[in-house]
Chain A
Amino acid sequence: MTAAAGATLALARRETRRFFRERTRVLGALLQPLLFWAFFAAGLQPSFRLAGGGDYGAYLLPGITILVLLFTAIFSTISVIEDRREGFLQGVLVAPLPRSAVVAGKILGGTVLATAQAAFILVLAPIAGVRPGPLAIAAAIAFCFVLGFGLTSLSLAIAWPMRSTQGFHAIMTVFLMPLWLLSGAFFPADGVPPWLGFLMRLDPLTYGVTALRRLIGAPATGSMASALAITLLFVAASFAFAIAVTHRRDGAHAG
C-alpha cells in the first residue's frame, strides 16, 4: 500500500468513526427517509392506486434508498466546511500528500456511510412487497456504492469553496433536493407536462433511480443499459468536478 492510499483510508476511517460518535446524525440520516417513506406511502397510496399506478410503497422504495444516499452524501461533506473553520483541514493540507488523496478519503468515507444506510433500507424491501433475491440485493448495494460515490463527490465539490454551512443549505434546497424530486423517485414521468418531462430527462439521478428499480424488481420504465451508462458517466463527471474544485489555487485559500 502506498503512503497516499494509506492516508486516503485513514481519512475515510475518520469519517465513519465520526458518524457513529454523533448519534443524532445516525438518527437523522436514517429516520427522515423512513418517515418520508411511511407518510408518503400511506398518504399517496389511495390516489396512486386509483390512477392505476399499483402499490405506492413499492414504487417509492428505490427513490427513498437514493434519498438516503443523497442525505448521507450531503451530511458527510458539509463537515468539510467545519473542518476548514476549525482548523483540521489546514492540518491535513500541509501534509505531504497529493490533494487527490485527501479528497478521495473524504469521498470514500461518505460513500461507505451512504451505502451502509442504503443497504439497511434495501433489506426492508419485503415490507413494501418488493422481494429481490440475495444476488439482486448484492447488485443493488454495489450500485448504491457507485452512485453514492458520485453524489458524495458532487456534494463535496459544492461544499469545498463554501465558508458557511448556511450557504450550503441554500444550495441543497434549490439544487440537490430538486435533483431528487425530479428523478422519478417520487412520481412517474408518464403524463407530466412536457417541460417537467424535459427536466426529468435532464436529471442524471433519473437514470440512477431507473437502474435501481430494475435491479430490485420494483416498478420501472426505461432501459437498464442506458440507465447504467448515464449513471457511470455522472459518477465520473462528479468525481472529476470534485478533483478540479479542490485543486483550484487562489490567493485566499490555496494549497
Chain B
Amino acid sequence: MTDGRDQPALLTEGLGFDYGRERALDGVDLAVRPGELFAILGPNGGGKTTLFRILATLLRPRRGRASMFGHDVARDPAAARRLLGVLFQAPAIDRLLTVRENLDLQGALYGLRGRGLAAGRDALLLRFGLEAKATARAGTLSGGLQRRLEIAKALLHRPRLLLLDEPSTGLDPRARAALWSALDDLARASGTTVVFTTHLLEEADRAHRVAILDRGRIVAIGEPEGLKAEIGRQVLAIAPEPRAQDEEELRREIERLAGVAARLVEGRILVEAEDSAALVPLLSRALGGRIAAMTVARPTLFDVFLRRTGRGFEPDEGTALGRDRGDAA
C-alpha cells in the first residue's frame, strides 16, 4: 500500500464524545508521526478508554474527526481497520483454542491464508518464544505468555499502527519488561507506529512523545523530557509534621522563605525551583520543628500533570468522567 505515506499515522481534530449529557472527550487534537512510540497518559476516568475505543473504530465520535494514514475511522472503518492492530485490555484470545489455532483464526479474519499465513504465523511464534506452546490451549498459558500471544495476534497482518489499551495490565514485572522490549523493537526495526494508553507514569516515560489527557482534554503534549524540563530542575516535596497544624499557613511561610510558588497537594507542599536542594538547609533552619521530611527529586510526569491541572494524579470517580473505565463495553 502506498497511500498515506506522508500522512500522519494518526490524526484527530476536535474529537469529542459524550455519555448522555456528560462530556467524556472534548476537543482532542493529536498528530502522531509514522514510526513514533506515542503514549496517552491520564488518570483513570480521564477519557483514555473512550479515546481508545474511537481510534479502534468501535465507537463513533460525536464531534470532530479521527483518521489513520488519511483514512477516516468513522467514514471508512474498513480501510482504517486494515492498517490497524489492536491490543485490548481484556484478553481477546480464545482460551479453548490452541496457540496456533488462535493465530490461524486471526489470519482468516484479515484475509490471510495458505503459505503466507503459515510463514507469518511461524515467524511470530518464534519471535515471541511461543513455538514450544504452539499446540497448547491458550487458556493453559501463563498470563505473560497469553499477553505475548495477543501481541503476536495483533501483529499477524503487519499493521502499520499498533494501538494498545493499558498494555501492561495484569503482567508481572518480567513479562512487563519483555513486552516493552518487544514494543521498542517494533517501533525501531519495522517502523510500526505504536500508540498506547496508560495511567502509569513510568510507562509513559518510555514513549517518544506523550499526550496527557485529563477530564477529556489534552492538557500537555510533547517529549517526556521536554515536558519535565518546563518545570524547575528539581522538585522539593515537604511533608508537614503530622501534629495538627495549619498546612496552608505553613505553605505560605515556605513560599515567603523560598521566594517561589509553593503548592499544597494531597497533604504535601511542593516547591519547584531552579535549585531546590539549596532550600533544604534554609527551610530546615527556619521551620525545622514543623516539617517531618523533605525530599528533592527530578520532576516526573506527575509534576507535569500537577502543574497543568492543579490536581494530583488520582482517579476522579466522583466526576462525570469517572465512568470512563475499561470495563464499560
User: Which of A63-71, A85-93, A205-213 binds B?
Assistant: A85-93
What residues of chain A lie closer than 8 Å to B101, measured between beta carbons? 14, 17
For A135, list chain B residues within 8 Å (CB): none
Collect the chain A residues with CB atoms within 8 Å of residue B57's CB.
94, 255
Q: Does residue B111 face the partner (Cβ distance < 8 Å to A)?
A: yes
Q: Are B82 and A6 in contact (CB under 8 A)?
A: no
Within 8 A of B (CB), among A1-59: 3, 6-7, 9-11, 13-14, 17-18, 21-22
Q: Are B108 and A10 in contact (CB under 8 A)?
A: yes
Q: Which of B19, B78, B113 is within 8 Å of A6, CB to CB?
A: B113
A247 proximal to B (CB < 8 A): no
Shortest Cβ distance from residue B149 to the other chain A in the assembled complex, whole angstroms: 12
Contact status of A93 and B90, CB under 8 A, knowing A7-B109, A21-B96, A252-B329: no
- Shortest beta-carbon distance, A162 to chain B, in Å? 11
Residues in A with CB closer than 8 Å to B82 are 96
**Are B94 and A18 neighbours in the complex by a CB distance under 8 Å?**
yes
The total of chain B residues at the interface (CB under 8 A) is 37
B89 to A, closest residue via Cβ: A87
Tell whether A251 pairs with B92 under 8 Å between CB atoms, given A6-B108, A94-B84.
no
Q: From A250, which residue of chain B is reached at the shortest CB distance?
A: B60
The yes or no answer to B105 lying at the interface (CB within 8 A) is: yes
A133 to B74 alpha-carbon distance, docked (Å): 56
* Per-residue contact bits, chain B 161-172, to A (CB 8 Å; 1 contact, 0 not): 000000000000
B-facing mask of A159-184, CB < 8 A → 1, else 0? 00001000000000000000000000
- Cross-interface CB contact of A254 among B60, B96, B106, cutoff 8 Å: B60
Distance in angstroms between the alpha carbons of A18 and B93 in the assembled complex: 13
Minimum C-beta distance from B135 to chain A (A): 13
Q: Do residues B19 and A95 form an inter-chain contact, with CB atoms below 8 A?
A: no
A248 within 8 A of B: no
Q: Is there contact, CB below 8 Å, between B88 and A91?
A: yes
Contact residues of A with B, CB < 8 Å? 3, 6-7, 9-11, 13-14, 17-18, 21-22, 84-88, 90-97, 163, 249, 251-255
Residues in chain B within 8 A of chain A (CB atoms): 17, 19, 56-60, 62, 78-79, 81-82, 84, 86, 88-97, 101, 104-106, 108-111, 113, 137, 153, 328-329
Contact sample, A vs B, 24 pairs, CB 8 Å cutoff: A11-B105, A14-B94, A17-B101, A18-B94, A18-B97, A86-B91, A87-B90, A87-B91, A88-B94, A90-B56, A90-B58, A90-B92, A90-B329, A91-B106, A94-B81, A95-B110, A96-B79, A96-B81, A96-B82, A96-B110, A97-B109, A251-B60, A252-B329, A254-B59
